[in-house]
């Protein structure tokens, strides 16, 4: 009897040892590190956008399938917005210095199946900092001769932001906003769970080739 008891004990121990450990959901247990991302184009405006209003801020109009809003990677909890002015207007037979360009902007956000809300507004002007190339995934297609271009071929970063107003639950940070700093003015903010974004560009002065709004996240 004693031998039988020992045998049962040994077998029971072997079964318990062979039990697989409980599975862990790696998504719940492993924090994803910050990803390196390029800028993505949120808007390209050759002329002033038609401002969104109470009749055009609803889901069926803004949804990415047919509207202006862009989807942002759902892993991004913070976003950075920036602008540049494309002065290459030779195709339009205009020769414009981007430094003479000024415009108003409104950044919007929306949750899926909801309406657009205003995040922040402001006025923007260029500085003297030239783009080395298109700062998106298409940069290999457009490389510029930094600092040695004619005015009508120039591409310059917006470095001046003024009259900025935020309407967002968490703070919006405005960085390098003095035009004379000749840097890259950036707008950073928490996404607050919003996945759809748009930047409306209006009241453009100076007839640019294009005003481009970019965004990236982390």
Q: What is the pTM of this model?
A: 0.80
pLDDT of residue 96: 63
pLDDT of residue 189: 97
Ordered by start, the domain boundaries in the chain are 37-217
Question: What would the pLDDT profile of 43-73 be if each residue is shown by its tens digit?
Answer: 999 899 999 999 999 999 999 888 999 998 8
State the Cα–Cα distance between residues 146 and 132, nearest whole angstrom.
5
Q: Band the pLDDT of 197: cuts 50, 70, 90.
A: very high
């Amino acid at each position: 009897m004693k031998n039988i008891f020992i045998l049962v004990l040994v077998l029971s121990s072997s079964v318990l040892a062979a039990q697989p450990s409980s599975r862990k959901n790696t998504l719940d247990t492993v924090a994803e590190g910050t990803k390196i991302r390029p800028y993505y184009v949120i808007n390209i405006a050759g002329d002033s956008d038609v401002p969104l209003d109470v009749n055009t801020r609803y889901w069926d109009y803004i949804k990415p399938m047919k509207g202006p809003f862009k989807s942002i990677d759902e892993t991004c909890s913070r976003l950075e917005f920036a602008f540049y002015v494309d002065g290459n207007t030779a195709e339009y037979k205009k020769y414009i210095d981007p430094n003479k360009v000024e415009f108003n902007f409104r950044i919007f956000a929306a949750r899926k199946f909801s309406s657009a809300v205003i995040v922040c507004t402001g006025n923007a002007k260029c500085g003297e900092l030239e783009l080395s190339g298109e700062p998106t995934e298409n940069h290999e297609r457009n490389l510029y001769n930094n600092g040695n271009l004619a005015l009508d071929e120039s591409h310059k970063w917006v470095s001046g932001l003024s009259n900025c107003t935020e309407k967002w639950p968490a703070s919006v940070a405005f960085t390098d906003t003095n035009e004379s700093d000749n840097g890259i003015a950036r707008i950073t903010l928490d996404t607050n769970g919003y996945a759809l974004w748009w930047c409306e560009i209006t009241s453009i002065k100076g007839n640019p080739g294009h005003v481009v709004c970019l965004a990236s996240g982390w």
